[in-house]
Amino acid sequence: MELPFAEAWKIKMVEPIRKSTRAEREKWLEEAHNNIFMLKSEQVYIDLLTDSGTGAMSDRQWAALMMGDESYSGARSFFEFKDTVTRLTGFKNVIPTHQGRAAENVLFSYLVKQGNVVPGNAHFDTTKGHIESRKAFAIDVTTDEAKDTQLEAPFKGNVSLEKLEKVLKENQGNVPFMVLTVTNNTVGGQPVSMKNIRETSELCHKYGVPVVMDSARFAENAYFIKIREKGFENKTIKEIAKEMFSYVDCMTMSAKKDGLVNMGGFIATNKDDWYEGAKKFCIPFEGFLTYGGMNGRDMAALAVGLDENTEFDMLDTRIHQVQYLAKKLDEYGIPYQRPAGGHAIFVDADKVLTNVPKEEFPAQTLTCELYLESGVRACEIGYILADRDPVTRENRFGGLDFVRLCIPRRVYTNNHMDVIAASLKNVFDRRDSIKHGVRITWEAELMRHFTVQLERIK
Ligand SMILES: *Cc1c(COP(=O)(O)O)cnc(C)c1O
């Protein structure tokens, strides 16, 4: 008999979690203004809010923490971290920051001017925020394949070269860089092919525009290239990742994702002028150049995390778990962005809550229903997250409306996946009785989803 698939690790430390009653959850969600970001973690049974900073570190990472060098300048931990980044990416200049958005803040403070245009394949929310808050414009150039959630295509995170060229042509001299996000989080953790990375960069370079890779999940992207793209099946994840970076000019990184740490980020580039320019913003915003917002021990654990998570078995374990959950949803007929992405399942809420109009935020409504059902905390990646148009102040209903079931790395077992799937099935089975959604009672101007307050429409 062929042996079944199993995790490439065993568990050394556990953390208790607690179930709650429906009555408790009703009260807690009301107190949280129907915004799951406002819940306390003890009020959550299985937490799928994010895979950001929520992974389990390995014994080797915990050991590295103890060896952290906390010197203000010239810390050994910085050089170990920097050398790891250079070895994995080929970039020699490395600026540490406290997380990914801080890397964006430091780099964009140098690069983005009012009125600039920055194309990208579905900018991440903080990336978009850092562009728009500088009165510049983030233009989405993702392939249209991504919009059809039921279409099975291997690289739905890809850039549409046609859309990109149009933006580059119409805005010559006004595009400081292009952002290439891997995997493409916003459209469902969908990967970008090596061919598309190469062609995107060639096109940008033809117009004299550098490319910044938003690399939060670069290792998962490399895994999908190995599994799905011809010519890469025999390459290692490390070889594939290095080739991905070889086409672009710079990377920003949220190390809380594929770096396997709770906090951290960085910028890396071979462009000496960008390095010099960004350095000036690192010191006042983040800290001195050899710690930039991280402890020595964080950098030590990150160096180990980057190395571990660019090994095939680690990624294979993770992606298998996401696919295990996807298979359950298939069994129950629940529609999600196909095929399953790298770090999460993105449930297509508009197709589930067909009675709830767009204006009442179906994905946010489904997120609330799922929490009330069982204490599973998912996250809306939809119309609320999309924010309002900066010019018209209208809600942006043009994109997709997802509930993201985001799987932390090395944290839950497949039994937890069974509970998640069953909870969603119970909501799905009574979907026709859900006729009303939610209404916004308070919102921030930018990145409103974190703090928005909502009431349930009766
Ligand atoms: C998480 C993330 C960021 C922002 O990083 P933080 O560490 O959360 O500040 C930027 N881009 C992408 C694609 C991300 O997933």
Whether the CB of 52 sits within 6 Å of ligand 1: yes
**Mean of per-residue pLDDT scores for the chain:** 97
Residue 90 lies in a domain: yes
- 391-424 confidence digits (pLDDT tens): 899 999 998 899 999 999 999 999 999 999 999 9
Residue 294, pLDDT score: 97
Strand partners, 347: 336, 403
Active site residue 124: yes
pLDDT (0 to 100) of residue 446: 84
In a domain, 1, yes or no: no
What pLDDT sits at residue 249?
98
92-139 tens-digit pLDDT: 999 999 999 999 999 999 999 999 999 999 999 899 999 999 999 999
Sign of CA dihedral 36, 37, 40, 42: positive
292 alpha-carbon distance from chain centroid = 22
pLDDT tens figures, 241-293: 999 999 999 999 999 999 999 999 999 999 999 999 999 999 999 999 999 99
Atom of ligand 1 nearest to the CA of 103: 9
Asked whether residue 304 falls in the same domain as residue 382, the answer is no
123 catalytic? Reply is no
Rounded (10°) angle between helices 237-246 and 218-228: 110
Q: Determine which residue's CA is closest to atom 3 belonging to ligand 1.
A: 100
**Residue 125 a catalytic site member:** yes
State whether the beta carbon of 123 lies less than 6 angstroms from ligand 1. no
CA distances 155 to 195, 199, 224, 433, Å, are 10, 14, 9, 36
Residues 70, 219 share a domain? yes
For residue 430, tell me if it sits in a domain.
Answer: yes
Q: Which of 156, 257, 328, 343 is catalytic?
A: 257
Tokens encoding 86:
């250079």
How many domains does the structure of the chain reveal?
2
Note whether residue 6 is domain-resident.
Answer: no
Domain identity same for 358 and 261: no
Q: Is the same domain home to 218 and 186? A: yes
Q: Which helix (H) or strand (E) holds 167?
A: helix 161-170
State whether residue 181 is helix, strand or coil. strand
Which of 98, 107, 185 should be mutated for ligand 1, with most atoms under 8 A from CB? Answer: 185
User: Does residue 408 line the site of ligand 1, with CB under 6 A?
Assistant: no
Give yes or no for a cis peptide into 183 (omega within 30° of 0).
Answer: yes
- The answer on 45 and 81 residing in a single domain is no
The span from the CA of 289 to the CA of 112, in Å, is 21
What residues are paired with 266 via a beta bridge? Answer: 96, 253
Tokens standing for residue 193:
């092919």
pLDDT at position 275 is: 98
Q: Are 181 and 157 in contact (CB under 8 A)?
A: yes
Residue 177 known to be catalytic: no
Residues spanned by the domain of 216: 59-308
388 three-state secondary structure: strand
Q: Using a 6 Å cutoff on CB, does residue 382 contact ligand 1? A: no
The CATH number that applies at residue 198 is 3.40.640.10
242 an active-site residue?
Answer: no
Residues 207 and 233 in one domain: yes
Q: How far is CA 187 from the centre of its chain?
A: 10
Residue 362 and residue 438 in one domain: yes
Give the C-alpha distances (Å, rounded to integers) separating 102 from 27, 75, 80, 98, 254: 35, 21, 21, 6, 9
Catalytic option among 19, 63, 72, 144: 72
Give me ligand 1 centre to Cα 256, in Å: 8
The answer to whether residue 4 sits within a structural domain is: no
Last residue within a domain, chosen from 308, 342, 371: 308
Look at residues 243, 274, 308 and tell me which one is the last residue of a structural domain. 308
Q: Please tell me the distance from the alpha carbon of residue 400 to that of residue 190, in angstroms, as a whole number.
A: 14
pLDDT over 90 at 21, yes or no: yes
Nearest CA to ligand 1 atom 14: 216
Last residue of a domain, one of 308, 328, 361: 308
157 CB less than 6 Å from ligand 1?
no
63 & 37 share domain: no
- Whose CA is closest to atom 5 on ligand 1? 100
Picking from 359, 369, 287, the residue whose alpha carbon sits closest to that of residue 75 is 287
Q: Are residues 79 and 176 in the same domain?
A: yes
pLDDT digits (tens, 9 = 90+) for 36-90: 999 999 999 999 999 999 999 999 999 999 999 999 999 999 999 999 999 999 9
- Asked if residue 100 belongs to a domain, the reply is yes
Q: Is the pLDDT of residue 188 over 90?
A: no
Do residues 382 and 452 make contact, with C-beta atoms less than 8 angstroms apart?
no
Q: Are residues 108 and 194 in the same domain?
A: yes
SS3 251: strand
102 CA closest ligand 1 atom index: 9
CATH of the domain at 375: 3.90.1150.10
> Which residue out of 214, 249, 298, 350 is catalytically annotated?
214
List the structure tokens of 60: 């080797």
CA-185 nearest atom, ligand 1: 13
Per the domain annotation, does 9 fall within a domain?
Answer: no
Q: Residue 104: how many CB atoms within 10 A of its CB?
A: 27
Q: What are phi and psi of 94, to 5 degrees?
A: -130, 125
Q: Do 266 and 366 lie in a common domain?
A: no
Q: Is 61 in the pocket of ligand 1 (CB under 6 A)?
A: no
Q: Report strand pairing: 211-214 vs 250-254.
A: parallel
CA-nearest residue for atom 4, ligand 1, is 100
pLDDT value of position 136 = 97
Q: How confident is the model at residue 458 (pLDDT cuts 50, 70, 90)?
A: confident
Minimal CA–CA distance to 50: which of 444, 387, 439, 367?
367
Task: Tell me whether residue 349 is in a domain.
Answer: yes
Residues 173 and 100 in one domain: yes
